[in-house]
Amino acid sequence: MDLGLAGKVALVAAASKGLGRAIAEELAREGARVAMCSRSEAAITAAAEDIVRKTKGDVLPIAADVSTQEGCEAFAQTAAAKYGALDILVVNAGGPPPGRFDDLDDEAWRKAFELTLMSAVRLTRLALPRMRAQGGGSIVYSTSTSVRQPSQYLSLILSNALRAGVHGMLKTIATDLAREGIRVNAVQPGRIATDRLVQLDTDTARRQGTTPEAVRRRYEEQVIPMGRYGTPAEYAAVVAFLASPRASYVTGVSLQVDGGMLLSMW
């Protein structure tokens, strides 16, 4: 299926590794021009070079910390200076650290707030004028299945609380922006095999007195109907579709990619 992404300009935040990197690669493979950022200049440059080798795409690496206003502005402005247009914004950020409620002080909450919620607010604010000027665009937030079932991840209260805020914003602005041709959606990863999930499985194993391998085996044998963790490429394919013109009548949606793990009807 041709997703209609050839020549489109996409911004993908936090893309040096994991889900963000997979999304940037998928969009580049579909012919989009991709600006991708990370706090580490060396890491984002290496990731972009690898994507170019694999896809022959037009990829711009930008060193920017999206947990800050300055970083968000640098990302958006540098991309605009190179490409001009902005068709797709993918808001992604490394998850805040695990911890139970009693483990976390105000500083931990502040950092998570800036990273998880305010990066979405700021990048969206920066994208809207350009999307409005060109008559439309697509925004996709990469979040978590925890927004539907937070009790499954008791040590992820920072992520659980703040990603719910992103979804509240999503549902509000999707309605507000629909008549302007700007679609706003989210994709929720379940157990996708990334470095972040290794970190979470290791933390869970420490708390339960077991091993990360045992934690993964329990999910694959008892929790995930498809019996395995997903791959970043599988997740990225869904993001690319939702961001593309092929999903032109889809807005305000939060789509889970979790191998059937969540059992709720909505």
Burial 64-93 (b: 16+ CB within 10 A, else e): bbbbbbebbebbbebbbeebeebbbbbbbb
Domain boundaries, the chain: 9-192+230-257
Q: What is the pLDDT of residue 152?
A: 66
The span from the CA of 20 to the CA of 12, in Å, is 7
For the 9-192+230-257 domain, the top CATH level (class) is alpha beta
Reduced to 3 states (helix: H, G, I; strand: E, B; else coil), residue 65 is coil
The pair of structure tokens assigned to 12 is: 């993908």
Q: What is the pLDDT of residues 69-124, one digit of tens each?
A: 999 999 999 999 999 999 999 999 988 888 889 999 999 999 999 999 999 999 99
Q: Quick one: pLDDT band at residue 166, thresholds 50, 70, 90?
A: very high
Q: What is the pLDDT of residue 153?
A: 66
The pair of structure tokens assigned to 138 is: 């697509």
% pLDDT > 90, the chain: 86
% pLDDT > 70, the chain: 98
Q: What is the pLDDT of residues 113-162, one digit of tens each?
A: 999 999 999 999 999 999 999 999 999 999 998 888 876 666 889 999 99
The span from the CA of 34 to the CA of 25, in Å, is 9
Q: Which residues contact 46 (CB under 8 A, 6 or more apart)?
A: 16
**pLDDT exceeds cutoff 70 at 44:** yes
Q: Sign of the CA dihedral 181, 233, 116, 43?
A: negative
